[in-house]
Amino acid sequence: MSKVVIIMGSKADLEWSSKIAKTAADLGLDPVMRIASAHKVPLKCLEIIREFEKEPVVFITVAGRSNALSGFADAQTHCPVIACPPYGDKFAGADVYSSLRMPSGVAPMVVLEPDNAALAAAKIIGYHNEAIRKNVMAYQEAQRLKLEKDNNELL
């Protein structure tokens, strides 16, 4: 299990999703990107979910404004769903609430930074994949070493 499927609401989300995909690949995951709006083409979205949930997978959904995609995806699958909505300053960031407020029985996780969404997916997959778990641990160690180096430069 090392596949991460990134579902975007539209091509406007490609830049944000590409950041997720890059970090996911750096962590040893196999990122796959698809476009399917839960509002405009819900059956296509469902088709993508059904295609990939046959094997262990983590879905990462990327949709701004009214983020029905994350809730829709989560309600349709038994697999983990991580919502990673792109920041939109048009509504002073308030559109993030559409990713946070979900109805009962619908529980996508919300991670606001692309790198961290990929890291969260890797941690989930790392439960059953030792190679990915080791990649996560190496990633975290590199973060710690960078902070120590930065601190030492101040001394």
Annotated binding residue 2: no
Question: Bridge partners of 76?
Answer: none
Annotated binding residue 70: no
Annotated binding residue 104: no
Annotated binding residue 13: yes
Annotated binding residue 64: yes
Closest CA to 51 of 79, 84, 28: 79
Closest CA to 73 of 61, 84, 65, 87: 61
Annotated binding residue 10: yes
Q: Which residue is associated with the tokens 């709006």?
A: 37
Residues of each annotated binding site: 10, 13, 37, 40, 64, 66
Name the binding residues for substrate: 10, 13, 37, 40, 64, 66
